[in-house]
Structure 1
């Protein structure tokens, strides 16, 4: 049996004369007391909830094993202001949390669910209202006992409630529990939306940093190739090189020009994405200068986090709330098989004249209990129960899928993290090797040992290696953000 104790307003008086007040108020007061007792004794038919077991391993793959357990804060306990060190990035995220429209919709959904819960919760109590009215009726002479037409009037003033359901079997309380869980689920949805927004803003900011660095590299490469092209062209005029060398140098120059123009577009698009996420323009003072500084602003989480932390993610909690709501709907469907008792009661005064409405002896009351017992519903009630149980099973599957998806997100981030350091080291060594190769090719070309084509290949290789290094450094930075997001960080 599930009981809830809540206050009920018991009227101490009704508008009747002092001689009749006690007798008129007694039935309504006694009835409200009985309603309170019935509410306290109402039973619940909601099935006992058991959280489904997480259908994932106990530990993450690619998590670095440690000889002793490392005591480190969980990601969802680290506020985003503490995780991102760069003050510019923190200010950009703060602007997004304040102005982003998707997050604003998520917050308004919470308010809507709270209002819906308040409406459902109000059904636990009778709606007490004061009413007053007048009725007039004219009876023609041929229908009157006296043979004369007459007009009869009646005035009344009452205090009472109508169609209040005694929740003996917990139907109304089950619906209230369902509305409560839906309301709590929207709160978790807003937290989940904030996590996604924080990660999207951080990744967009980091991509802008990387593309700005690519743009600077493209401009520097263009200037270098322009100088090289001018030198080869002067050498052609002196007869030191062939026209083929000039055309090859111009090919690299135009390629660098195209790359510079392309990265100009990419940087502008990155700023547009960031502005959309923030919900307005982002000042230039809050934009990153380059990726090298931006990577240092993102903290690194410890590996080896057990998979139980996934149940703390807001989207997982939201799925669990939806499962609880579906569980409560089963209780309401079960209670529909049992009798429903509704009460309508009022107490007040009635008189044939307005000035006699509050005279002695004008007290009046009414009490109308109703019982509805389903006998034949053509399978409707059983179908409703089956539907509620099937919906519960669907929510169980969705809950388990949400855990599996979250586990995969963390596992993917850890898998990338396991190799990203080696990739960065390899790319840095590749850049160093191609730089040495370029220097040697340039020296051999100037010494007349190699053709200009070998020098051009060395230039292309160096440029491509530098771009690859920027790309893998961006992967390292965004991987830290993705792991922070996958572990449920960013909602605080």
Structure 2
């Protein structure tokens, strides 16, 4: 009686759901970043923040990468697959109708335990003529034409099918979030390699300029040595400095080509085609405060956090599906048809036939397997909740670290620029004193070596500043999609 009562109670649940109620986690509204010296919390991060570099070639590169990148195309195909799967799952909640037509023929066995006797029956001896003759109660060979339909439908008693449909929709959302995350990472990779490519070009230009200047100085020293006014030590020092500067060029050219090859890979094209995209331009530069918005907004911008939250929602539906699987399943089927031995009689009055049924399937005993599956899904949900919290903590720490590093890099850059300015001033004075005969050429070489080092360090500081801005915007998340015209 208890089982019967449970069955009747479950039948009342038609159209209901046993899935636990789910609410997405919320971030504290009054949370602030610790390192806000270089942050503007009054404005949210810009969607296409790299346009602040004011570099048309960079903007064109990002747009091309987002159109041509192969992993992005794969991510888009995954979205289409998830969308098709959601449509397929949604159809389980509506009746399935199929139609068919054909001819069937069958022969009965004379030794069939049920029908065989009717085939071989004879007229009993009742004192009437024909005793012992076959009765032909059934024909051994039979055939018929049939045209009909089959209709089947499962009543969604506890919301199992609804949960599967909701789950498929969440998986589609996750596929879209994954594509957004892939787009951001690909865009970041493109900007990083572009900055490094421009940085290598700028360092090459500095090195080549220094080589030219040092070659001119060496020629001057050689002339002085030849005339007896110079020192062989001065000449050796000048030659050593020139050789050291030239030695940096092969490695810088290698770096330039390596980043160009990486850009070609991101674009999915030949490197010769990629090389034609760029002219000689200065290293992009941005300074000043960065729009970061409020800390609570981070949960809505970061694709990894959004993906973790959707995983929680998906596993909550898995819990509901596991619970609903323990309730009875009710099926309705119907098969209207017309059937006749002769094709001409197929659509005549009286040829109609039908079959209808209703069935219940309910697992009364499974040794605790159903409850174990529910507990397993609940444990997976708890794991997803912890993973979500870990992802949120990591995201906040990434932004804090990026803000601190960006601020420190700005200070470092200012100090390097001051040092480079002082080095140039010192080199100018050393050359003037040397021409006046007040210092030896060693002082000039040392001053020039410092200029070379500081000019390269100044460029590296600018490049590092641009990279820190890139990583800060990556930590802040957001939609980096370039609208297609």
Q: What TM-score, normalized to structure 1?
A: 0.83
Change (3 A) 1:214 1:377: same
Deviation at 1:285, TM superposition (A): 5.1
Instruction: Give the Cα–Cα distance (whole angstroms) in 2 for the partners of residues 433 and 98 of structure 1.
Output: 47
Mapping for residues 63-142 of structure 1, pairs under 5 Å: 63-64=36-37, 71-72=42-43, 74-75=44-45, 78-79=47-48, 83=52, 85-139=54-108
CA contact (8 A) 1:91 1:286 kept: no
SS in 1 for 2:95: coil
Deviation at 1:39, TM superposition (A): 11
Deviation at 1:197, TM superposition (A): 2.2
Instruction: Give the Cα–Cα distance (whole angstroms) in 2 for the partners of residues 81 and 228 of structure 1.
Output: 41
Instruction: Give the Cα–Cα distance (whole angstroms) in 1 for the partners of residues 438 and 12 of structure 2.
Output: 99
Instruction: Give the Cα–Cα distance (whole angstroms) in 1 for the partners of residues 28 and 56 of structure 2.
Output: 40
What is the alpha-carbon root mean square deviation over aligned residues?
A: 2.8
CA contact (8 A) 2:42 2:293 kept: no
Deviation at 1:352, TM superposition (A): 2.1
Quote the residue 2:129 is aligned against: none
SS in 2 for 1:75: coil
Among 145, 162, 176, which residue is 2:120 paired with? 145
CA contact (8 A) 1:410 1:486 kept: yes
SS in 1 for 2:290: coil
Q: What TM-score, normalized to structure 2?
A: 0.84
Instruction: Give the Cα–Cα distance (whole angstroms) in 2 for the partners of residues 39 and 348 of structure 1.
Output: 32
CA contact (8 A) 1:348 1:364 kept: yes
Change (3 A) 1:348 1:395: same
Quote the residue 2:149 is aligned against: 159
Change (3 A) 1:398 1:54: farther
CA contact (8 A) 1:55 1:404 kept: no
CA offsets 1:437-473 (integer angstroms, 9 cap, x no match): 2223334444454444333322222111111111111
Deviation at 1:160, TM superposition (A): 2.0
**Is residue 23 of structure 2 the alignment partner of residue 50 of structure 1?**
yes
Instruction: Give the Cα–Cα distance (whole angstroms) in 1 for the partners of residues 341 and 310 of structure 2.
Output: 57
CA offsets 1:174-209 (integer angstroms, 9 cap, x no match): 111111101011111111222222222222222222
Change (3 A) 1:401 1:171: same
Q: Which moved more, 1:456-465 or 1:39-48?
A: 39-48
CA offsets 1:45-87 (integer angstroms, 9 cap, x no match): 1111122354998111211399xx9743x226x3458655322
Instruction: Give the Cα–Cα distance (whole angstroms) in 1 for the partners of residues 440 and 206 of structure 2.
Output: 26
Instruction: Give the Cα–Cα distance (whole angstroms) in 1 for the partners of residues 370 and 198 of structure 2.
Output: 61
Instruction: Give the Cα–Cα distance (whole angstroms) in 1 for the partners of residues 354 and 52 of structure 2.
Output: 67
Structure 2 residues not aligned, in runs of 5+: 1-10, 122-133
CA offsets 1:413-440 (integer angstroms, 9 cap, x no match): 2112222332222111101111122223
Change (3 A) 1:64 1:300: closer
How many residue pairs were aligned? 447
Among 409, 422, 425, which residue is 2:411 paired with? 422
Instruction: Give the Cα–Cα distance (whole angstroms) in 2 for the partners of residues 390 and 57 of structure 1.
Output: 32
CA contact (8 A) 1:109 1:186 kept: yes
Deviation at 1:106, TM superposition (A): 1.1
Instruction: Give the Cα–Cα distance (whole angstroms) in 1 for the partners of residues 453 and 340 of structure 2.
Output: 98
SS in 2 for 1:377: coil
Mapping for residues 7-22 of structure 1, pairs under 5 Å: none
What stretches of structure 1 move > 6 A for 4+ residues in a row?
none
Change (3 A) 1:317 1:39: farther
**Is residue 295 of structure 2 the alignment partner of residue 306 of structure 1?**
yes
Instruction: Give the Cα–Cα distance (whole angstroms) in 1 for the partners of residues 293 and 78 of structure 2.
Output: 36
CA contact (8 A) 1:205 1:287 kept: no
Mapping for residues 310-325 of structure 1, pairs under 5 Å: 310-325=299-314
Change (3 A) 1:79 1:434: closer
Instruction: Give the Cα–Cα distance (whole angstroms) in 2 for the partners of residues 82 and 48 of structure 1.
Output: 43
Instruction: Give the Cα–Cα distance (whole angstroms) in 2 for the partners of residues 404 and 85 of structure 1.
Output: 34
Deviation at 1:353, TM superposition (A): 2.2
Mapping for residues 275-424 of structure 1, pairs under 5 Å: 275-280=264-269, 281-282=273-274, 284=276, 286-287=278-279, 289-291=281-283, 294-296=284-286, 301-302=290-291, 305-424=294-413
Q: Which moved more, 1:413-422 or 1:250-259?
A: 413-422
Mapping for residues 168-207 of structure 1, pairs under 5 Å: 168-207=157-196
Quote the residue 2:33 is aligned against: 60
**Is residue 475 of structure 2 the alignment partner of residue 483 of structure 1?**
no
Instruction: Give the Cα–Cα distance (whole angstroms) in 2 for the partners of residues 189 and 346 of structure 1.
Output: 45
Change (3 A) 1:84 1:233: closer
CA offsets 1:314-361 (integer angstroms, 9 cap, x no match): 332222112111110100000111111122221111222222221111
Change (3 A) 1:136 1:299: farther
Q: Which moved more, 1:142-151 or 1:351-360?
A: 142-151
